[in-house]
Amino acid sequence: MNTKKIIIAIDGYSSTGKSSFAKQIAARLGYVYVDTGALYRAVTYYAFTNGFIDRDGNVDESGLKSTLKNNNITFKAQEGGKSNTYLNDANIEKQIRTLEISNKVSIIAAIPFVREFVDEILHKFGENKGVVMDGRDIGTAVFPNAELKLFMTASVEVRAKRRFDEIQQSGGKDTYDNVLKNLKERDYMDTHRETHPLVQAEDAILLDNSNMTIPEQFVWLDKILLEKFGLQMK
């Protein structure tokens, strides 16, 4: 049983496997996993279903800002270590994973007051440490003093293939070319937004998993956790 509690911040590009990696790290350390991407997706879903962002990506920022604070986004644990995302007591886990929401999440996530709203939620989770969070600016903006920061990347073609396979397995109908286009657009928006763009923190450890299996990634991390913090995963 690990008694040492640290904050592990995992940033990186879309479809690098950040969430899956973070979930397994948390489970093996007995830590809490916080899905920051789901929070932004939940805000995007709220904005889209309430007419604050249209299909072309135009945003009614004043309308969104005036109502966003009245919403409650939470996670509820499920069997097998998974969790579902809830918006005001409604389970929206499936809805926030659609391509419609994926295409708009970077637009919503670039809005400063949205990031402030999400950051407040994240800081509450991090108060007692013993958490693993993944996102775009966890190690640079949300928890700049996190004890361990990882930055995950992979070639855009590898990431597109991973995302396309996920969509196919869940019964989706999208094409590889559309997924690749979406990823390239998200990469550009994430790295060029004015507020907290995606960038590797100076003290983050780079993990390029283009040609790594999941077991190989854990062997790599096991060494870091043991050498730096005396932590061992199950």
Q: What is the pLDDT of residue 170?
A: 83
C-alpha–C-alpha distance, residues 124 and 143, integer Å: 12
Question: How many domains is the chain built from?
Answer: 1
Q: What is the pLDDT of residue 193?
A: 86
Give domain status of residue 1, yes or no: no
Q: What is the pLDDT of residue 81?
A: 58
Q: What is the pLDDT of residue 195?
A: 81
**Most confident region among 29-33, 128-132, 214-218 by mean pLDDT:** 214-218
Residue 3 pLDDT greater than 90, yes or no: no
Give domain status of residue 233, yes or no: no
Domain that holds residue 67: 7-224
Residue 2: pLDDT band with limits 50, 70, 90:
low
43-93 confidence digits (pLDDT tens): 999 999 999 999 999 999 999 999 999 999 988 877 655 778 999 999 999
Residue 215: pLDDT band with limits 50, 70, 90:
very high
Q: What is the pLDDT of residue 1?
A: 53
Give domain status of residue 140, yes or no: yes
Give domain status of residue 187, yes or no: yes
Between 204 and 81, where is the model more confident?
204
Give domain status of residue 2, yes or no: no
Q: What is the pLDDT of residue 200?
A: 97
Residue 4: pLDDT band with limits 50, 70, 90:
confident
Give domain status of residue 160, yes or no: yes
C-alpha–C-alpha distance, residues 103 and 100, integer Å: 5
Q: What is the pLDDT of residue 150?
A: 98
150-198 confidence digits (pLDDT tens): 999 999 999 999 999 988 998 888 899 999 999 999 999 899 988 889 9
How far is C-alpha 126 from the geometric centre of its chain's CA atoms? 15
Q: What is the pLDDT of residue 76?
A: 83
Q: What is the pLDDT of residue 97?
A: 92
101-110 confidence digits (pLDDT tens): 999 998 999 9
**Entry pTM:** 0.81
* CATH of residue 154: 3.40.50.300
- Give which of 96, 93, 90, 135 is closest to 115, Cα–Cα: 135
Give domain status of residue 231, yes or no: no
Give domain status of residue 234, yes or no: no
List of long-range contacts for 162-170, beta carbons under 8 Å, 24+ apart: 162/15, 162/17, 163/14, 163/15, 167/99, 170/97
